[in-house]
Structure 1
Amino acid sequence: MVLSSISASECPAGKTILASSVAKLYASEIQAGLEKLGRKPKLVGFLSNSDPAARMYADWTAKSYLENGFDFELLEVDKEELEDHIFQANKDVSVDGIMIYFPVFGNRQDQYLQQTVASSKDVEGLTHLYVQNLYHNVRYLDEASTKKSILPCTPLALVKILEYLNAYNMHLPYGNRLYGKTITIVNRSEIVGRPLAALLANDGAVVYSFDVDGVQKFTRGDGIKLRRHQVSDIEIPLQDAAQVSDVVITGVPADSYKFPTEYIKDGAICINFSTAKNFDKDVKSKASLYVPSIGKVTITMLMRNLLRLIENTNVN
């Protein structure tokens, strides 16, 4: 599907781009999918923590799903009982999709919980099947290329935003449309930052991935057999990476963190996916385009993923 995007003439320096502008481009695709299905797909969300950000995400999901003709049920369960509830939802034929609002335990147990969701209902794309496909740059589930693999919704939302902002060069071959772009990401979580770096590198970008443990450089692999990205541990100051980056993406969940405006390359694209505001108010003095939040696009990708799960199930 061809979507409208921002042209250079529409991008004066310091322009703020709202997530709603990107999300609404997918409204007709989602409605067409619902009409074709002929029923309301059901998503079940599990909330087992008191994190305000998780609660906000759950509320946004419920509001958006119900407004757009989906069925949504939020189940608040004790974290020690969550696994049993997930298994029940896996077996429930009335449930089309399952998501968990993390963190639950805040440790490796959360990674285990991701794997308890049936891949056929994994709307977030976090089970091993989809994660392996993402990291190995495998885009389909079958040899006939009729079933698209599910991508994690937040990294996918960031990709769609970058497409909208013309960071992707649509004149280049598919899978290489970020060739020549350098991107800095401040976040390397297993749910967003790391898979995002892999996705962008698989599309041809050089990605500097920062977190508290250091810096990694993601680049595209060379050759047909080496189609997945390459990762190396490097030492580079954040300032040096940012000043050569066409895009800076932040996702630090702390109100105290602010990305230094003076590090930003003139004319860069800046995107924040944290619930905290990671950029100072003067970000647009350096950035040509600034996206302060992405929540509405993330939820739109959740809807799109749910429809794709059902479509994959229905393909013979």
Structure 2
Amino acid sequence: MSCKTISAANVAESFISELKQQITALETKPLLVAFLANEDPAAAKYAEWSAKTCAETGLRFECRRCPRTELEDRLIEANEDKNVHGIMVYYPVFGGTQDGYIQNIVSPQKDVEGLCFKYRYNMYHNVRYLDKENTIKCILPCTPLALVKILEYIGAYNKILNYGDRLHGKTITIINRSEVVGRPLAALLANDGAKVYSVDVDGIMELHRGQGLHLKKHEVFETDCTLPEALSRSDIVITGVPSPTYKLETAQLKDGVIAVNFSTAKNFQDDIKGKASIYVPSVGKVTVAMLQRNLLRLFEYQTKVKI
């Protein structure tokens, strides 16, 4: 079987080009402030990468290092600073529920990552706007949004169907149920009509479009489905296990599967191209492009400058 490998750089190219045009036309360039309050080398590298990509498109970027004990106060200051248009935090900081608390400190007006409670609640309930007039769109988490854009790029979404139902008939397995990527992604794909198996170390949940009063948003179900069963049924398999030792067995996958990896580790075995029709080994550059798109949207809402 012939497998097509899709580069994240190629997917991001059109978004980056559009960003450059939009930013060039702005008199005031939006400012993204990122807070680094941990000693994680990966976070520091991501900060360097963010600075570089923002410079390439013309955005202003500041990485502000601080002790984690000061992070809450620094976030509040940035919320109140009119010169700051977007805020992000490199996690983990404390870990667990305390990081969830930190996510909710960031103002929805400046939350480029879409991780505060308001945005997450609306996403899970398939509420796409903040206002009744449907003029202010909600911010979506960057990596889940990037994965949606990648699936659109490779044609997994059926454009003949109505918007919001373009994954109808697709079965998808996501091996990651984190609150930052896996669970939001499962909700987004289920809200677009897919049947989704959401997998983590504690088991498997099933998500798909509801019925009756729940027709417009997904529902979550307990399932007895095993991982091998889910994989054998799945048209698309998306992995995000942050461990170099985790490898998904190629033999368990459906012939012609679309295989997407968003972990920094390679979760698929080396022979994946013999089974998959499309393979996406990484998504990072698309994630950064979505971060910048989110920033421009927030800048537009704050300043009333039409972009």
TM-score of the aligned structures, taking structure 2 as reference length:
0.96
Which AA in structure 2 matches 1:71?
R
Q: Which residue of 2 aligns with 1:17?
A: 6
- Partner of residue 233 from structure 2, selected from 219, 241, 244: 244
Which AA in structure 1 matches 2:135?
T
Q: Which residue of 2 aligns with 1:8?
A: none
TM-score of the aligned structures, taking structure 1 as reference length:
0.93
Pick closer, same or farther for the CA change 1:223–1:35 going to 2, 3 Å: farther
Matched, 1:39 2:28: yes
Identity of aligned residues (%): 57
Tell me how far apart the structure 1 counterparts of residues 46 and 107 of structure 2 sit (CA, whole Å): 22
Which AA in structure 1 matches 2:11?
V
Q: Retained in 2: the 8 A contact 1:148–1:312?
A: no
Which AA in structure 1 matches 2:295?
L
The superposition leaves residues 165-196 of structure 1 with CA deviations (integer Å, 9 ceiling, x where unpaired) of 10000000000000000000000001100000
Q: Which residue of 1 aligns with 2:86?
A: 97
Matched, 1:66 2:66: no
Shift of 1:84: 1.0
Q: Retained in 2: the 8 A contact 1:153–1:298?
A: yes
Farther off after superposition, 71-80 or 178-187: 71-80
Pick closer, same or farther for the CA change 1:52–1:13 going to 2, 3 Å: farther
Farther off after superposition, 187-196 or 228-237: 228-237
Tell me how far apart the structure 2 counterparts of residues 225 and 278 of structure 1 sit (CA, whole Å): 34
Matched, 1:311 2:296: no
Tell me how far apart the structure 1 counterparts of residues 199 and 5 of structure 2 sit (CA, whole Å): 24
Farther off after superposition, 302-311 or 136-145: 136-145
Shift of 1:86: 0.7
Tell me how far apart the structure 1 counterparts of residues 175 and 233 of structure 2 sit (CA, whole Å): 15
- Partner of residue 57 from structure 1, selected from 22, 37, 46: 46
Q: Which residue of 1 aligns with 2:264?
A: 275
Tell me how far apart the structure 1 counterparts of residues 164 and 14 of structure 2 sit (CA, whole Å): 22
The superposition leaves residues 226-245 of structure 1 with CA deviations (integer Å, 9 ceiling, x where unpaired) of 41110012122211101110
Q: Which residue of 2 aligns with 1:131?
A: 120
Q: Which residue of 1 aligns with 2:66?
A: 77
Q: Retained in 1: the 8 A contact 2:172–2:195?
A: yes
The superposition leaves residues 129-172 of structure 1 with CA deviations (integer Å, 9 ceiling, x where unpaired) of 11111011011111221111110001000000000010000000
Tell me how far apart the structure 1 counterparts of residues 210 and 290 of structure 2 sit (CA, whole Å): 27
Q: Which residue of 2 aligns with 1:187?
A: 176
Structure 2's unaligned 5+ residue stretches are none
Q: Which residue of 1 aligns with 2:253?
A: 264
Q: Which residue of 1 aligns with 2:222?
A: 233
Tell me how far apart the structure 2 counterparts of residues 186 and 166 of structure 1 sit (CA, whole Å): 21
Q: Which residue of 1 aligns with 2:135?
A: 146
Q: Retained in 1: the 8 A contact 2:24–2:58?
A: no
| Aligned residue-pair number | 305
Tell me how far apart the structure 2 counterparts of residues 83 and 13 of structure 1 sit (CA, whole Å): 51
Q: Which residue of 2 aligns with 1:7?
A: none
Q: Retained in 2: the 8 A contact 1:13–1:267?
A: no
4+ runs deviating over 6 angstroms: none
Pairwise CA RMSD: 1.4
Tell me how far apart the structure 1 counterparts of residues 304 and 192 of structure 2 sit (CA, whole Å): 28
- Partner of residue 154 from structure 2, selected from 150, 153, 165: 165
Partner secondary structure for residue 115 of structure 1: helix
Tell me how far apart the structure 1 counterparts of residues 70 and 166 of structure 2 sit (CA, whole Å): 45
- Partner of residue 201 from structure 2, selected from 212, 217, 221: 212
Which AA in structure 2 matches 1:191?
V
Partner secondary structure for residue 243 of structure 1: helix
Tell me how far apart the structure 1 counterparts of residues 268 and 185 of structure 2 sit (CA, whole Å): 19
Shift of 1:36: 4.2
Which AA in structure 2 matches 1:291?
V
Pick closer, same or farther for the CA change 1:30–1:224 going to 2, 3 Å: farther
Which AA in structure 2 matches 1:43?
L
Tell me how far apart the structure 2 counterparts of residues 286 and 267 of structure 1 sit (CA, whole Å): 6
Tell me how far apart the structure 2 counterparts of residues 84 and 241 of structure 1 sit (CA, whole Å): 45
Matched, 1:254 2:243: yes
